Amino acid sequence: MNLDIGAPYAVPRDTLLPDSDEDVLQTQHQCLPRQRKIIHVDMDAFYASVEQRDNPDLRGKPVAVGGSRERGVVAAASYEARKFGVRSAMPSVTARRQCPDLIFVKPRFEVYKAVSQQIREIFAEHTPIIEPLSLDEAYLDVTENLQNIPLARDVALAIRAKIKEVTGLNASAGISYNKFLAKLASDHRKPNGQYVITPETGPAFVEALPVGKFHGIGPATSAKMNSLGLHTGRDMRSQTLEFMQANFGKAGAYYYWISRGVDNREVRANRIRKSVGAENTFSSDLTEFDAVAAELQPLIDKVWRHCEDKGSRGRTVTLKVKFNDFEIITRSRSVPVAVASRGDLERLSIALLQNEMPLPKPVRLSGVSLSSLQGDDKRNRNLASRFEGSVSSGFQETGGARFLGDENGALGLLRIFRTRFCDTGIAFVPDLRDRKPPAVLDRHDAEREA
């Protein structure tokens, strides 16, 4: 289907007060955005597929990339493993219980990164407007594509075919007129498929969708919506903006608009990193202050080493603690000026831990993050100065690698919490707070498996 149909957005009558027909045309031209063509490309079971590609003995078998040890976590699962209910971020013990024949493979992040670069180069053959979300996922704006292919559907087909030719891997794609719907569409025909949501079919597609299937709505928010009688997009759409904001705060406006198929966020090629962090799962649970504080030291080293390498500094330090019953708490402290040294980062982190003593339960994981990042360039400093206040962060345990997400990263969080994001053990969060409609997620939603 050709998305370039020029269907106008509806403009409320009371927003147009023209004095003449010419004024009507001019006002409509200013108010109606150009119809966009957005593709969301998502590699199918990326890590596991790379391992099966490189090792023929793994093909057709249930494979999990991640640690097989008692406290390991699945980073990615092949489709053969998914048939048994194995999913990313699942504890390895649980995965093994659900699939006794599961084969665990240690992650090879350098290989995944190299393949990701090959895929990125294929994207660049069609458009310079590429917004990577992870090593295996990206948005592309192909409204004006470099190959002059008129149909966005055909652009997606060409990209998927080239990826298969170059890497031997399958990709799925969603095509629509905004990012939210393109993301939904890419999941609709997985694996190795694509789907188009046009302006004519978008509202109906969203109306029939269960709220738990909306990207940006996790189990906690979904349960709350259900308790309010909101089970589908149609139920959400029937509510007023005031109702949604009263019950869901800032996120209410985002839910209000996506239930109408409206998402005005642009595909942004240069996203600003706003947070960096590290975490670690202990080999055995810890209860004493000194033991937990000692485990924070290498995490602080990792975070500060990145800050030194990138020339970035942050103002908000966040401590994360996961107890042995998997309850998670985060504690943050913001300072007026950027943290200037590794020693300052350590002192703030340890102070946050000290405030939680005595610990109510044994601890299985700890993490440290630095957010409200400010880079060396003037643009980053100006942007950072616009956003004040403390930032709570959530983490996702990932076996060998450690990842962190900044909750104010909104939609960017959804994939940052997936272990597939990073090749270095450090994950970054884009700043989406200047996008409209706004999107704010809580930690429980962020930890939802995408």
How far apart are alpha carbons 423 and 421 in whole angstroms? 7
Please name the amino acid found at residue 142.
V
How far apart are alpha carbons 112 and 291 in whole angstroms? 34
Q: Which two tokens stand for residue 388?
A: 């004040």
Question: Residue 269 has what DSSP assignment?
Answer: S
C-beta separation of 172 from 215 below 8 A: no
Q: H or E stretch including 176?
A: strand 171-176
Whole-number CA gyration radius for the chain: 23
Sheet containing 194-196: order of strands: 130-134, 137-141, 38-43, 171-176, 194-196
How far apart are alpha carbons 159 and 142 in whole angstroms? 11
How far apart are alpha carbons 89 and 55 in whole angstroms? 23
Q: Is 137 noted as a catalytic residue in this protein? A: yes
The residues with which 90 forms a beta bridge, in sequence order, are none
Residues in the chain: 450
CA 212, 217, 221, 225 dihedral sign is negative
Q: Which two tokens stand for residue 30?
A: 């200013």
CA 88, 91, 92, 97 dihedral sign is negative
DSSP 287-342: -SHHHHHHHHHHHHHHHHHHHHHHT-B-SEEEEEEEETT--EEEEEEE-SS---SH
At 252 the three-state DSSP class reads helix
Q: What are the E-state strand segments in 187-303? A: 194-196, 273-286
Q: Which of 137, 279, 346, 447 is catalytic?
A: 137
Residues 6+ apart with CB under 8 A from 106: 65, 67, 400
Phi/psi zone of residue 229: left (φ > 0), alpha (ψ -120 to 50 degrees), beta?
left
Annotated catalytic residues are 137
